[in-house]
Amino acid sequence: MKKSVIVKRIILVVLFAAVLLLTPVLFFIKTPLEQNMSKWTSTIEIKDRVAYPASNSIDFKVDKAGEHTVYFSLIPEGYDKDSLANVKLSNLGFITTLVITDSSDNVVYSSSQSAAFLDTVIYLEPGNYKVTYYYFTDENEFYDFSSEFLCSSKEAARLAKDVNFPSFIENGTAVFNYEFCCLSKEKDLFFPSLMLGWGIVFGLLLAMLLTEFFFFGKDGTKKYDERQILEQGKAFKIGFFTLLIIVESLIILNLTGIATIADYPIFYQLAVFIGLGVYVSYCIWHESYFAINEKSTRVLILFAFIAVFNLVISIVNFVNGWMIVDGRITFRVLNIFCTLLFLIIFAVLLLKRIANSRSASSDDDDDEEDD
């Protein structure tokens, strides 16, 4: 084995091991949300099923103009934010309305939706602001809110029945728990972007390791003949111009404002998928994708695994509603496109084998005629 191949493999192993070992450290990183979250409790008195005070507020400051994500959670630590059925109102403190005002008492945002966990994006100028929130005070009011904003009427009836309203049925006091944070859009996207980038690096290194150790000769070098190399050059050229045309089209769509249904990294990754699909398909059709010393069966198994793996992730994302959030397509839709990419590659491989089989059969017939 060549010395250069050994060095390359050692470098890949070290890089992959470093990424793998450092992955758990990511979960100990304090996100901007965790660093800037304010937690407090509000004590209210209940007299004749009326809350005193009927509302409460908290002040916050914005240092940078732009889009900000407002997080407002009324669910205390220890509760599952996705399941409210067994949580008592006296422990939560549902609200009917949330209003954000500036230092001049001008309303910059108001909402009566997502009272249990608010996560919304608004544009804010630098300055001082105040959040004011108003409480639910009876079961019927909670039912009306739930059926209008949260779920169906049948589910709202069950939820209103399961959620206990003891603090409003009897006089007394109740302690409500709150969490509040306002982050610039850039800080809000910091941790998801970090995790996504880390995952891409991990996947690329894993793919390189598998390719290096399992899919071609012991000398670590793929061997192509002159015809294959020429065809690969043509494939690179076609794939490059395909990618170039798509990227230029995205720039035009950006100027016209049409491509606002998703974040732009999604479109650019899709452009990469299409360019890659064109390159691989051309190489397969001209029998220049697999090296002379490469075992194509192992590569096909890897492709099948990647396709099935992304298909399963796509189904999970679709069932949980993670592909489209607040009317915008998320990066999770890329798993579908990745699945389609490998399905197209399989289709090209199948068609090429059928074409080769027919060509071989035709050649055999010609040989028999010559005899």
List the chain domain ranges: 32-188, 215-370
Instruction: Give mean pLDDT, residues 181-203.
Output: 76
Ranges of beta strands (E only) in 74-157 are 95-102, 107-111, 117-124, 127-135
Considering only residues 266 and 228, tell me which one the structure prediction assigns the higher pLDDT: 228
The amino acid at 362: S
Q: Which of 44-53, 268-277, 302-311 has the highest mean pLDDT?
A: 268-277
φ, ψ at 291 (rounded to 5°): -70, 165
Confidence at residue 236, expressed as pLDDT on a 0 to 100 scale: 94
Cβ partners under 8 Å of residue 243, min gap 6 = 271, 272, 274, 275
Considering only residues 216 and 37, tell me which one the structure prediction assigns the higher pLDDT: 37
Confidence at residue 367, expressed as pLDDT on a 0 to 100 scale: 58
Confidence at residue 114, expressed as pLDDT on a 0 to 100 scale: 45
Instruction: Give mean pLDDT, residues 160-170.
Output: 57
pLDDT-based confidence at 128, cuts 50/70/90?
very high
User: What is the chain's length?
Assistant: 371
* 59 has a pLDDT exceeding 80: yes
Half-sphere exposure of 26 (CA within 13 A, CB side): 17
Provide the percentage of residues in the chain whose pLDDT is more than 70: 73
Handedness of CA 306, 312, 316, 317 (dihedral sign): positive
Give the three-state DSSP class for 40. strand
Instruction: Tell me, yes or no, if the pTM score tops 0.75.
Output: no
Q: Which of 72-86, 176-190, 229-243, 297-311 has the highest mean pLDDT?
A: 229-243
* Cα angle 184, 189, 192; round to 5: 155
Confidence at residue 276, expressed as pLDDT on a 0 to 100 scale: 92
φ, ψ at 357 (rounded to 5°): -65, -45
Do residues 139 and 165 make contact, with C-beta atoms less than 8 angstroms apart?
Answer: yes
Pairing of strands 66-73, 172-184: antiparallel
* 153 has a pLDDT exceeding 60: yes
Measure the N-to-C terminal CA separation of the chain; round to a whole number of Å: 48
Instruction: Give mean pLDDT, residues 226-236.
Output: 92
Q: Which of 90-94, 262-266, 309-313 has the highest mean pLDDT?
A: 309-313
d(CA 124, CA 130): 12
Q: What is the pLDDT of residues 94-126, one digit of tens each?
A: 667 778 899 998 998 887 654 444 567 788 899
Confidence at residue 137, expressed as pLDDT on a 0 to 100 scale: 61
The amino acid at 277: G
Instruction: Give mean pLDDT, residues 291-306.
Output: 77
pLDDT-based confidence at 363, cuts 50/70/90?
low
Confidence at residue 220, expressed as pLDDT on a 0 to 100 scale: 58
Q: Which of 103-112, 169-178, 293-302 has the highest mean pLDDT?
A: 103-112
Handedness of CA 224, 342, 196, 257 (dihedral sign): positive
d(CA 49, CA 364): 92
Return the CA Rg of the chain.
29
d(CA 212, CA 2): 13
Confidence at residue 270, expressed as pLDDT on a 0 to 100 scale: 87
Considering only residues 315 and 116, tell me which one the structure prediction assigns the higher pLDDT: 315
pLDDT-based confidence at 165, cuts 50/70/90?
low
CATH code for the domain defined by 32-188: 2.60.120.380
- The chain-wide mean pLDDT, for the chain, equals 77
* 204 has a pLDDT exceeding 60: yes
Confidence at residue 88, expressed as pLDDT on a 0 to 100 scale: 53
Confidence at residue 116, expressed as pLDDT on a 0 to 100 scale: 45
Q: Give the lowest-confidence range in 193-197, 319-323, 341-345, 367-371.
A: 367-371
Which two structure tokens, joined as six digits, stand for 243?
């990618």
Q: Tokens 């980038």: give the residue.
A: 197
Measured CA to CA in angstroms, residue 63 lies from 57, 108, 125 at distances of 20, 16, 8
By C-alpha distance, which of 63, 188, 81, 61 is closest to 131?
61
* Alpha helices (H) in the chain, listed in sequence order: 3-22, 32-36, 89-92, 139-145, 153-162, 166-169, 185-188, 190-214, 226-256, 264-285, 296-319, 334-370
φ, ψ at 66 (rounded to 5°): 140, -170
* 170 has a pLDDT exceeding 80: no
Measured CA to CA in angstroms, residue 192 lies from 189, 195, 198, 331 at distances of 6, 5, 10, 10
Instruction: Give mean pLDDT, residues 309-318.
Output: 88
Measured CA to CA in angstroms, residue 243 lies from 63, 279, 363 at distances of 40, 10, 38
By C-alpha distance, which of 67, 65, 127, 134 is closest to 99?
134
pLDDT-based confidence at 139, cuts 50/70/90?
low
